[in-house]
Homo-oligomer: A and B are copies of this chain.
């Protein structure tokens, strides 16, 4: 493996990579893995967001591989700062957990890729080349999770009915009666609504309902 250096495609100048992680062990591991691919070259390492910015300016790497979680300036913040300073920077975020919720923030902040540290060597190389080629890379499992998170904001028809009951000042029991279901089911819906709308209580959920256009002003 890793002996594709002679192929016409790989004979180009290697992709220059900057590693950012507070754990030197991880940096070592990544460097070792990436070193096996002759089309890739680690040109610098940084321990935190601040260093990352400095190293980036000094080395002008093609790709930044950065941990999402770091002490001090978080990976997400560092990503934002980096993208603000150098919008052309192509950053691939790394995460420890398989199902990291930060994925949304990372994408929103301009990450070009998002990988779990458990990623296999082949996929890592593939991801880096893909991102270097101008694309975005998110593993299958994470993409699915992204969809879930996206769908998660959209209330179901039933949930909107319940939300509408809330905005009228109905209690869970009242809503249950109105919809001819049990109070417990209403509570289940309410719970789902609070989660999806990231609200602490029904009052905030109603506010979010208006903000998201789920509820319309009836009597202006």
Contacts and interface: CB of A to CB of B under 8 A. Distances in A.
B218 A211 contact: yes
Interface string A113-154: 000000000000000000000000000000000000000000
Nearest to A215: B207
Given A169-B199, A199-B169, A213 B204 contact: no
A: contact size bracket? 20 to 34
A170 B199 CA distance: 10
A201 B203 CA distance: 8
Contacts of A217: 210-211
A213 B210 CA distance: 12
A169 B170 CA distance: 17
Contacts of A205: 169, 203
A19 interface: no
Nearest to A217: B211
Contact of A167 (B166, B169, B203, B220): B203
A206 interface: yes
B211 A169 contact: no
B167 A207 contact: yes
A166 B220 contact: no
A202 interface: yes
Interface in A178-220: 199-207, 210-211, 213, 215, 217-220
Interface string A155-175: 000000000001111110000
B220 A169 contact: no
A202 B200 CA distance: 13
Given A206-B207, A211-B219, A219-B211, A200 B167 contact: no
Nearest 8 A/B pairs, CB to CB:
A169-B204, A169-B200, A167-B207, A202-B203, A166-B203, A210-B210, A203-B203, A206-B206
